[in-house]
Every structure is written in C-alpha cells, then in structure tokens.
Chains A and B, each alone.
Chain A
C-alpha cells in the first residue's frame, strides 16, 4: 500500500514539477493533465471511487480543455517568453523555495498524520444523501457561485452594441 502510494505520489509530483519547469505552455498544460490523473488515481487507491471519476471527468475533461483553449487563444507571437533578468529569477526562486519549505514544514511538523489503517469507503448512496442533506446549502452555494461566474463570463464575452464600436 505504501509502495503504491509512493508511486502514485511520484506520478503526481513529477509531472507537476515538470509542468512548472518546462517553457512550452502546451507541454505544461498537458503535464498538468497528467498530474490531475495521478491525483484521480490517488483517490481511487484510497477507495474514493466517485471522487476519483468526478475528478478525472471535471479536470481532464473540462478544466484541461479550458486551459488549453486559453493558452492557444492568448499565446504571444513568439514561441516562449524572454528569460527574466537573473536577479529577478533568483528572487523568485528564493520566494518559491521558502514558500514551499514553510508549507511543507508546517504540514509535516504540525499536522497529525492520520492512521494508515484503511477506512471503509463511503458508499455512493450515502455520499448522495450527505450532499443532498447536511451539505445541501454548501452545494447550492457552490452552484450559485459557479452560475454567477458563468453569467459574468457571458457578459464579458457578449458582443457590444454597435454604437460602442464592438465587432458584433
């Protein structure tokens, strides 16, 4: 089990790190997809079937498309951005390393790790009942926020009236 989790962690982390390091944005996005898939596999390994598939469906099927679309539509003319000045890069690296170190350190030292005994997975029906019962308000709020975001996106993308010089 530990070995499996270690392998999955590797599958998750290596593409994630690579995604940050590669200069090609498309490669970066595709590596992210791989990392998300690794995360889904993680869920699967601990028995959270529904979460795993929902995660894969939403992230691999939906979010990745949006990311790729955004990358393709907003890409600058040149293949890759100019390298930043070395002082800036050093500063950025320092900030990133200290941030990751503090986050990792806090989580490792101050978090009580849960026991490794596998807990029985929540049955799907129970999950549904929980979502439609105690967590209904939260679910509806999330839905509302997403709807607002969608409408906002539509408003931004909607063609302007001709008097405003839009291209509609």
Chain B
C-alpha cells in the first residue's frame, strides 16, 4: 500500500521513464531557442548511431558466441574477458586492412555501394519509437517512410554486385534483385492489416493502438491476435529475406558464390557491408516490434515500472536472437524454392490475412459471444489457409527416403 501510494500516478511520469528527455533538456537547455531543435535532432542522431553501432558490434560477438555454442564450441573467448573486446579487435583489423578495388571494377559504384547501403539501413531507424516520446522524427506516414528507405537497400547490393565486374558478384546482384522483388510484396502486404486495424500510418499511432490489456492480462499487441500472429510470421520471414540472412542469404551464399556481392570487397568497405546487414536486421526487427509486439508497451500492467525503452530493447534483442537461432538451424534455400515460398505461400497467406485484418477492424465493437465468434473466425482464417497452402507447397516433397543409408 505504501509502495502504491509512493508510486507516481502514471508510469509516464516515472523518473526513469523521462530520463532520456530530462537528459536531452539538460544538454540543450542552455542554448538559444532557435538552435535547440537542431541540437536535439543532432543528439538523437548521435544516440541512434551510438546505440545501434554498439548493438552492431555486440551482435556480431553474440552471433558468433551463440553459433559456437550451438555447434558445441565456445566461440571467440580470447580477446578480453569472455571475448568481450573481440568487436574492437575486428574493427581495428578491418580498418587496417588493404582496400583493394579491382582494376576492371566500376570505381564510382564500387565505392558508393557500401556507403549507400549503410546510409539507407540507418535512416529507417529515425521513425522507430524506441520508448514513450522517444522517436527521432514524427511523420504522418512513417511506416511508409520506413519501407521506402528499406526498399532501396537491395539496390545497393545490386550496385555492389554489378560494379565489382566479377561473375559471382553479378550472379549475386541478380539474386538480390529477384529476392527483393519476391519478398517486398509479402513484407508490405503483411504490414497493411496492421495499418488498417490501428487506423494509422504513423509508428507512434500504431504503438498507441496496442496499449492496454484485455481482461487485464492479455495485451492488445497485434501479434497476440490470430490475424496479427499470421502477419507477424509472414513479416518476420520476409524480413529474414530482406536482410539477406540465412536461410535466405542467397546473394552472398559462400558455398556457391564465394561471397557473392562481397567477393571483391575488402577492409573497411567489407566491414560496412557487415554493418549494414546487422543494422538492416535491427531496423526490421525494430519495425516488427513496433507493428506487432506492442512497441515499447509493457506486457503486464504491474511491469510498467520498468521504463518503456527497456521493454523495447528486450523485445528487439529477443527478435535478433531469433534471427541468430534461425541462422544456426536452417540450410540455405535454392533460388527457385525461395521465389516459390514467396509467391505461392507468403503472398496468398498475406492476402487472406488482409481480409482477416479488415474483418477484425470492422468487428472491433463486438463483445461477449460475438467477440468469441470474432476470435474463432479470425483463427480459422489463419489456420485453414496455412494448412491448405502449406500442403500445396510441400506437395511432391514427401518425407525423404534413404535408399542406401539409414537416417
């Protein structure tokens, strides 16, 4: 009781919750009014660069550690305690390596590709609400902005592949294009029902629409509704493909294309590609959190004392861990399997889901028995297409029979 009385009236007023804003005000308060928004904008840019730069550095380490553990080995553990200094050692190595540009390469595009890629991977982060009031740029159509920024990343992969004047790189460029065309469609289609249901194209509006709890315990997150769960699945699969992560890493498929578009890159440019991959992955995961996992909302009302940005970070890390886990588990798809999966499975699923989301939006005022019926219909609209489409996708790919070896 004393605790409850001492707690602030609203979680938004808690000191920790407002700490970033207070810090910003303390840093910019002494400036003249005209300069203040500019400095604040610069500060948020610097924060995003710093936080996501560090996240990138430690994601590489975490990925190597987790992959190692999954493969029964320790992973990097020599540089610093538990290998914690490994990212910096890698950075120094990348910086001091010779930068080689093939003589036949298209010099301008070869240089431009990694730069453009990193820039495009970064600008999407501007519209992500990392916490209550923690969004760098408020836009009315910020979801659209995010996907417009993300769509161009494959273009730079194409530039890298084509400019290297190397047959493996060119193959990678073609694959990157095919992959993008295939997976941009389900990515966007899976996000549309969210916009329909939330009634907003802005990320902050979508997060606000996911606040509150049904019956006090079930958060109104989109991923916790039948249509949202399906959309979340499609979104994450398409996000895997968009960020060129295993099992969709066809553009850089080491075992087939040496390193694909990375073949002719070395030194820091190579590191930039690496950085862009992780930044793109983090940005798409952040978008997934925003669209489907309630953004910075706490899962339970009693847990709201933990600041919103911590919740966001935890959800983000969870999704990134999922990316690593998937990479450790699944083998790479073939290019025909890749496009097949998209056009014959994900796109129809997302289209059905669009109807499902529309129904959900129309029936938002149903309660009681009608509310239950709404859930049942929505769930059926997810499960039935999944089973039917899944059956047609796997038709002819029966369980593998071993003629000469026992499995």
When A and B assemble into the complex, do they touch directly, with CB atoms less than 8 Å apart? yes
Residues of A within 8 A of B (CB): 26-27, 30, 33, 40, 49-50, 53-54, 56-57, 60-62, 64-66, 68-69, 72, 123-124
**What is the total of A-B residue contacts with beta carbons within 8 Å?**
66
Q: In the complex, are the beta carbons of B148 and A68 less than 8 A apart?
A: no
Q: Check: B141 CB closer than 8 A to any chain A CB.
A: yes
Q: Which residues of B contact A57 (CB under 8 A)?
A: 144, 147-148, 151, 188
Which of B141, B162, B180, B188 interacts with A65 by CB under 8 Å?
A: B180
Complex CA gap A30/B184 in Å reads: 19
Q: Check: B159 CB closer than 8 A to any chain A CB.
A: yes
Chain B min CB distance to A124 (Å): 5
Q: Which residues of B contact A49 (CB under 8 A)?
A: 139-141, 145
Complex CA gap A33/B158 in Å reads: 13
Q: In the complex, are the beta carbons of B155 and A60 less than 8 A apart?
A: yes
Q: Check: B152 CB closer than 8 A to any chain A CB.
A: yes
Chain B min CB distance to A78 (Å): 16
Residues of B within 8 A of A (CB): 109, 139-141, 144-145, 147-149, 151-152, 154-155, 158-159, 162, 173-174, 177-178, 180-181, 184, 188, 201
Q: A60-B151, A65-B181 are in contact. Are A53 and B162 (CB under 8 A)?
A: no
Q: In the complex, are the beta carbons of B145 and A53 less than 8 A apart?
A: yes
Q: In the complex, are the beta carbons of B144 and A69 less than 8 A apart?
A: no
Chain A min CB distance to B106 (Å): 8
Complex CA gap A90/B177 in Å reads: 37
Q: Which residues of A contact B144 (CB under 8 A)?
A: 50, 53-54, 57
Interface residues of A: mostly helix, strand, loop or mixed?
A: helix
Chain A min CB distance to B261 (Å): 14
Q: In the complex, are the beta carbons of B148 and A61 less than 8 A apart?
A: yes
Q: A30-B159, A53-B144 are in contact. Are A68 and B151 (CB under 8 A)?
A: no
The 5 lowest CB-CB distance pairs between A and B, nearest first, are A61-B151, A56-B148, A53-B144, A57-B148, A53-B148
Complex CA gap A68/B155 in Å reads: 9
Q: Which residues of B contact A61 (CB under 8 A)?
A: 147-148, 151-152, 180, 184
Complex CA gap A118/B378 in Å reads: 45
Q: A30-B159, A50-B140 are in contact. Are A60 and B152 (CB under 8 A)?
A: yes
Q: A49-B140, A50-B140 are in contact. Are A26 and B162 (CB under 8 A)?
A: yes
Complex CA gap A65/B162 in Å reads: 13
Q: A68-B177, A69-B181, A124-B201 are in contact. Are A62 and B158 (CB under 8 A)?
A: no
Chain A min CB distance to B398 (Å): 23
Q: Which residues of A contact B174 (CB under 8 A)?
A: 69, 72
Q: Which residues of A contact B181 (CB under 8 A)?
A: 62, 65-66, 69
Q: In the complex, are the beta carbons of B155 and A33 less than 8 A apart?
A: yes
Q: A33-B155, A68-B158, A69-B177 are in contact. Are A123 and B148 (CB under 8 A)?
A: no
